[in-house]
A = this chain, B = another copy of it.
Amino acid sequence: MIVPRLIERKRDGDKLTSSEWLELIHGYSAGDVPDYQMSALLMAVFFRGMTRTETDALTDAMLSSGARLDLSDMAIPRLDKHSTGGVGDKVSLVLAPLIAELGVAVPMMSGRGLGHTGGTLDKLESIPGFRTDLSLAAARAQLDRIGCALIGQTAEIAPADRKLYALRDATGTVEAIPLISASIMSKKLAEGLTGLVLDIKSGSGAFLPELDREIELAKTMIELGADRGCPVVALVTAMDRPLGDACGNAMEVREAIEFLRGHSPEDLAAVTYALGAEMLQLAGVATTHQDAQLQMREAISSGRAAERFRAIVAAQGGDPRVVDDLSLLPSSPLRAEFRASRDGIVQRVEPRAIGHGVVALGGGRRTMHDVVDPAVGFDIMVKPNATVTEGDVIAIIHAADDAGVAIGHSVLDAAISIGDAPVDVLPLVSHRITSDAVEQLQ
């Protein structure tokens, strides 16, 4: 295998064979293929795409680069939810304890910040002491005990994907359907699931702002799952504005805990319950969507879901008192108000600009080895179509220093626009996609 020749072939529109993909990915995983060759290949894939056979080969190569969770002897269903990545998306932090509380094992494996979107691992690690680097054996023991483990990809699981994920983030090669599909499914297939729900983000803040490409992405993952014994259902949800109010690692944990204690922004609740209902039905725990909704709301209002989260935090080395005392989460030294510049109606809260803004504040990665500041971010108190008056505080900037505050202001100036007329926004949940059909919901 002469890697520059393979890169040239892909670059020039040729397809690589399954054994070439296997050799490339295992070689990359072993360190024999360097980052700089892989990133050039990924950029060529961005421009040239991959055939279904190539995507299959890439998925299997990444899956076989590591170990799997064997949960086949567990008596209860095993479900996970995966999002294609959004801004302000703290749904996983709520759903994991909530669904586990309702009798479904949730072996949730998450990633780190990628592109302009946040990562669940980075968010969890803002809880003092919280460890996501559990071994598979430890995760299995925790699943048996409390029905949920929130883990990262350790060296054991799809190590090739883990390396690629970080590399793509740093090299502008995130937004390619075959790479996204293979990355997600190689991890999910290693979790020993009996079912998977996908949250496919749509709109300007999604990886793939065009809806038809989003649906292509969902179908690719549904097929990859179906061929490998894991039924998958996907919902398309809105990412033309941030989800919920908080954007930034610790701030999003705070909002998730408030949700588990019974207080959530409407949009976050709607998306979370819709995805949770699909999980509970796929698991056979709920018979209808309404049944699922009632079970979830009861688990929240009774405090049981928050208790489950406390157990998970404690099991993974975190300080369980954060569930009751949010001041134990990291907070930024500086907070600055951002005010409406005029009377009017909010037109846009541009999630991509907000996401890049969190990175600019230090809350995300520019290169693979950057350290994330958990405390920084934005609290945005308005949504598109909100009526505002000049001088209203519409957002709070959480920054590490004065330079961060200045960056935050310029980010929000660009991201939030105010006009005179109401605007169209995407429905919170627009489509439901299964292996049989694409159903429009709203």
Contacts and interface: CB of A to CB of B under 8 A. Distances in A.
A5 B357 CA distance: 12
Interface stretch (A39-47, A216-224, A301-309, A379-387): A39-47
Contacts of A170: 3-4, 34, 36-37
A408 to B, nearest CB: 15
A4 B47 contact: no
A35 interface: yes
B42 A172 contact: no
Nearest to A7: B172
Contact of A366 (B2, B47, B366): B2
A171 B169 CA distance: 19
A173 interface: yes
A38 interface: yes
Nearest to A369: B34
Contacts of A41: 172
Nearest to A167: B36
Nearest to A359: B2
A171 B40 contact: yes
Nearest to A360: B2
Nearest to A173: B40
A78 interface: no
A413 interface: no
A288 to B, nearest CB: 43
A11 interface: yes
A171 B5 contact: no
A281 B246 CA distance: 71
Residue of A3, A115, A360, A367 ringed by the most chain B CB atoms within 10 A: A367
A11 B167 contact: no
Interface string A306-331: 00000000000000000000000000
A173 B47 CA distance: 14
A426 to B, nearest CB: 22
A254 interface: no
Residue of A4, A7, A34, A356 ringed by the most chain B CB atoms within 10 A: A4
Nearest to A366: B2
Nearest to A35: B36
A8 interface: yes
A35 B39 CA distance: 9
A37 B39 contact: yes
Contacts of A359: 2
Contacts of A4: 115, 169-172, 366
B43 A367 contact: no
Interface string A40-78: 111110110000000000000000000000000000000
Contacts of A167: 36
Interface string A352-383: 00001001100000111000000000000000
B8 A172 contact: yes
A10 B46 CA distance: 13
B367 A34 contact: yes
A40 B39 contact: yes
A182 B359 CA distance: 33
B172 A44 contact: yes
Contacts of A2: 356, 359-360, 366
B367 A37 contact: yes
Contact of A44 (B5, B10, B36, B43): B43
Nearest to A10: B172
Contacts of A37: 39, 170-171, 367
Interface string A11-47: 1000000000000000000000011111111111011
24 contacts: A2-B356, A2-B359, A3-B367, A4-B115, A4-B169, A5-B172, A34-B170, A34-B367, A35-B35, A36-B38, A36-B167, A36-B368, A37-B39, A37-B171, A37-B367, A39-B39, A39-B43, A39-B171, A40-B40, A40-B42, A40-B172, A43-B43, A44-B172, A47-B47
Given A35-B36, A36-B36, 19 more contacts: A3-B170, A4-B171, A6-B172, A7-B171, A10-B172, A11-B43, A34-B170, A36-B39, A37-B170, A37-B171, A37-B367, A39-B40, A39-B43, A40-B40, A40-B42, A40-B173, A43-B43, A43-B44, A47-B47
